[in-house]
Amino acid sequence: MKQGKATGLREKLDRTFYPDVGRNWDDSLFREYLLRRITPESVVLDLGAGAGVVAQMNFRNECRRICGVDPDPRVVDNPYLHEGKVSFGENLPYPDATFDVVFCDNVMEHLDNPVAVLSEVARVLQPGGYFLWKTPNKLHYVPLLASLTPTRFHQFINKKRGRDESDTFPTRYKANRPAAVSRICKASGLEMTDYRLVESRPEYTRISAPIYVFGILYERLVNSTNLFRHFRVLFMGEARKPR
């Protein structure tokens, strides 16, 4: 009964404050961001493609060819890819200048050596090609708390949110601020050309109504003025390889 009341209150808060926000709103937003650069003729690489559990990252019908790499062997059977290969980002198994677009969805926070990975991205990109990413912003309270807690705790929270434990990985947060990524891009042979910081429905706080209220108040605060934009949760951006 208590659980039912809590769920009902959460749904009421959803309807009141976020009536137009759907599940995986961040991935939907990133998909729109990517489709600015992906064309029917594009050859695309999904860096950290995994098993293919996020429907918004399915671009098979939007481009000429999409490949994916991930250390998780499930990438080979990812239904969103024309080809999946098991590999780490520091050693991409493709020739120079293979791709028009490389993207990663919630991968940057896991990188141990972001300069090595982005240098490989620059190598496999065509001149003038784009690298795009979506990742948590390091200054948001969720990454700050994640930095102080073990992976098992992250798995517990994500399980509460409906995500399988096998899809929760250790975080590093070495490439999760605009200034840091701009420096990393420059060191890797890329030029950061755009970034956006976004806060919307606070997904991680929806596990209980009282915590959800805190998340709503925080969202309203950081969206009230651009002075607080660097504390928003979502960091999306793009970099280009010079021609």
User: 16 or 167: which carries more pLDDT confidence?
Assistant: 16
Mean of the pLDDT values across residues 102-120?
A: 97
Per-residue pLDDT band for 105 (boundaries 50, 70, 90) equals very high
Max mean pLDDT range (9-13, 17-21, 209-213): 17-21
Q: Which residue in this structure is represented by tokens 């890819």?
A: 81
Dump pLDDT digits (tens) for 163-203: 565 555 678 899 999 999 999 999 999 999 999 999 999 99
For residue 84, what are the β-bridge partners?
A: 68
pLDDT confidence of 30, banded at 50, 70, 90?
very high
202, 233 Cβ separation under 8 angstroms = yes
CB 124 within 8 A of CB 104: no
Give residue 146's pLDDT. Answer: 81
Comparison of pLDDT for 157 and 105, the residue scoring more? 105
Looking at residue 112, what is its pLDDT? 95
- Domain range enclosing 101: 2-240
The pTM of the full predicted model, rounded to 2 decimals, is 0.88
- CATH number of the domain within which 171 lies: 3.40.50.150
Q: What percent of the chain has pLDDT over 70?
A: 89
pLDDT, tens only, 50-75: 999 999 999 999 999 999 999 999 99
| Among the listed residues 204, 70, 217, the one whose alpha carbon sits nearest the alpha carbon of residue 149 | 204
Helix or strand (DSSP H, E) at 128: strand 125-136
42: tokens are: 């594009």
pLDDT value of residue 172: 87
Number of compact structural domains in the chain: 1
Confidence of residue 14 (pLDDT cuts 50, 70, 90): very high
Distant-in-sequence, close-in-space partners of 18: CB < 8 Å, separation ≥ 6: 200, 201
Classify the phi-psi angles of 106: left when phi > 0, otherwise alpha if psi is within -120 to 50, otherwise beta: left
How do residues 134-171 score in pLDDT, each as one tens digit? 999 999 999 888 877 655 654 555 455 555 655 556 78
78, pLDDT greater than 60: yes
User: Does residue 35 register a pLDDT over 80?
Assistant: yes
pLDDT for the residue 1: 39
Largest CA distance in the chain: 62
